Amino acid sequence: MATESTKLTTLWRPTGSEELELVRRSGWREWPPRLPEQPIFYPVLNEEYAIKIARDWNVPHSGVGYVTRFQVESDFLARYPVRQAGGRDILELWVPAEELGEFNSNIVGLIEVVHEFRPPAGG
């Protein structure tokens, strides 16, 4: 459990409505288990990248995109190297699916929705 001296890292995750509903059902406290075709859970390290994925990928593929924000104990995250997934600011953590339960137990506070994107009206 976090104490006043515990350092926290803020992470973002772009998501669609199905995954977000599972997060809501958890009381906004954890990410759902990965599907068999999803061996990696990847939160991102900056809000702009999360917005781009939610707006440019989730909306066309599922009609809505959300950006969530949450905090995790920094010492725990040190086991996951930062991955550069493209440009200089496209940074992710790759959490193996089998470690997601432990990852969830190191989330401090609640997962919150900070952006919602939908297709333009009439488009």
Determine contact, residues 95/41, Cβ cutoff 8 Å.
Answer: yes
Output DSSP code: residue 52: H
CATH of the domain at 113: 3.20.170
Sign of CA dihedral 97, 98, 99, 101: positive
Say if 5 falls within a structural domain.
no
Per residue in 79-89, pLDDT tens? 998 888 777 77
Per residue in 86-109, pLDDT tens? 777 788 999 999 999 999 999 999
What is the extent of the structural domain holding 72?
A: 10-117
Q: How many domains does the chain have?
A: 1
Average pLDDT, the chain: 92
- Answer yes or no: is pLDDT of 2 > 60: no
What pTM was estimated for this model as a whole? 0.90
- The Cα–Cα gap between 32 and 24 comes to 10
- The Cα–Cα gap between 5 and 119 comes to 43
- Answer yes or no: is pLDDT of 49 > 60: yes
Say if 69 falls within a structural domain.
yes
Say if 63 falls within a structural domain.
yes
- Answer yes or no: is pLDDT of 9 > 70: yes
